[in-house]
Amino acid sequence: MENKNWSIVILVATLVIGGLGGYSYGKYESNREETVITMKQGDITSEEIYSNIKETASMKQQVTAMIIDKLAEAEYGKKVTDPMVQEAFDKTKQQYGDEFPAILAQNGLTEEGLRKEVRSELVLQELLKAQVTITEKEEQEAWKDFYPTVEAQVIQVNTKEDAEKVDAQVKEKKDFTSLVQEFSTNEVTKAADGKLSFNSGTTELPTSVAAEAFKLKDGETSGILSGRLLTNTGYQEEYYVIKMIKNADRGEEWTKHKEALDELIRTTQIQDPVFRSEVLSSELKKADIQIKEPAWTHLLDAYTKKGTETSETDAEK
């Protein structure tokens, strides 16, 4: 199974949607003739903009996302705090490093806009987690590949050549923290001198790399490790040199790790597109949503009509 760096990157048409977001249908109806753009060739009204965009796929996706966001926020919004949002935001920002301003600009987002999108995703995750039911059979199955949380220093580089340079200097007993700062391309771990806590469910290292790291003793350093990871530019081969700080004892009794096992199962479940779609379908039906715009009559059919195959991935972007 491929792993991926945790991040939240959402593409939104913020200019138009930002204008619609604060209106109920009735309020918007009463302002449709408002002139929003003036020019020598003729003014442009809200009505003209609305008529041109209401049937576009991007508009329908965004309106669907707004409905889902409002539904989730009403019941689970209190579970997501400002510090949680800030932590996720900071991690995303660190991940993109110097490219972060350009990424925001490309997607028509400001930092505040991204914070709102981060919050929406975190609230949705709370809704999904509440619907996960975990059985003992699932816990025992997860136990087969489980390894508890360890702490290590990680140097991640993009090329084998750089990995060989790092490995050579490690063998010469160069200071590992200094090597992190000199070579590592992972801005998140680099900011923490390479320190990373992870278990067998990590998405921050390829599965094969984590498995090799778990074999290290405290203070021991790996050779060159490699694996495919989903980065900002797609799947690519990444190279690692890892120094174990504090390994862990897995033990023989899975019940001692029940909490961690449940969290791994829960995290895996809420990432499953089928599960997400089924949960949203159930929640949307219970919400008794009435859509008054004729162009959006079938907006939620993919979720609310039985037998319709769907993925909510596009709707959440």
Is residue 139 pLDDT above 50, yes or no? Answer: yes
3-state secondary structure of 290: coil
Taking only the tens place, the pLDDT of each residue in 80-127 is 999 999 999 998 888 788 888 998 998 888 999 999 999 999 999 999
Instruction: Give mean pLDDT, residues 189-209.
Output: 93
d(CA 120, CA 123): 5
Q: What is the pLDDT of residue 99?
A: 85
Q: What is the pLDDT of residue 92?
A: 85
Point out which residues pair with 195 in neighbouring strands: 153
Is residue 13 pLDDT above 90, yes or no? Answer: no
**When comparing pLDDT for 37 and 73, which is higher?**
73
- Identify which of 61, 111, 281, 91 has the alpha carbon closest to the alpha carbon of residue 204: 91
Is residue 138 pLDDT above 70, yes or no? Answer: yes
What phi and psi values does residue 227 have, to the nearest 5 degrees? Answer: -175, 160
d(CA 183, CA 166): 7
Q: Do 45 and 28 form a contact (C-beta atoms < 8 A)?
A: no
The ranges assigned to domains in the chain are 11-130+272-316, 151-246
What token pair was written down for 13? Answer: 């048409």
Point out which residues pair with 3 in neighbouring strands: 229
Prediction pTM value: 0.73
d(CA 153, CA 189): 8
Q: Do 170 and 155 form a contact (C-beta atoms < 8 A)?
A: no
* Beta strand spans in the chain (E): 3-4, 35-37, 44-45, 150-157, 195-198, 225-231, 234-246
For tokens 């961690």, the residue is 260
What token pair was written down for 120? Answer: 């929406």
Task: Return the number of other C-beta atoms located less than 10 Å from residue 203's C-beta.
Answer: 18
Read off the pLDDT band of 231 (50, 70, 90). Answer: low
- Inter-CA distances, 254 with 257, 267, 277, Å: 5, 18, 31
**When comparing pLDDT for 189 and 313, which is higher?**
189
For tokens 């990590």, the residue is 202
d(CA 179, CA 260): 32
For the chain, the average pLDDT equals: 85
Is residue 61 pLDDT above 60, yes or no? Answer: yes
Amino acid at site 61: Q
Read off the pLDDT band of 263 (50, 70, 90). Answer: very high
- Exposed (0-12), middle (13-18) or buried (19+): which is 3, by Cβ within 10 Å? buried
What token pair was written down for 19? Answer: 């204008």
Q: What is the pLDDT of residue 273?
A: 92
Q: What is the pLDDT of residue 175?
A: 97
- Identify which of 20, 110, 30, 6 has the alpha carbon closest to the alpha carbon of residue 58: 20
The CATH-assigned architecture of domain 151-246 is Roll (3.10)
- Identify which of 128, 173, 77 has the alpha carbon closest to the alpha carbon of residue 316: 128
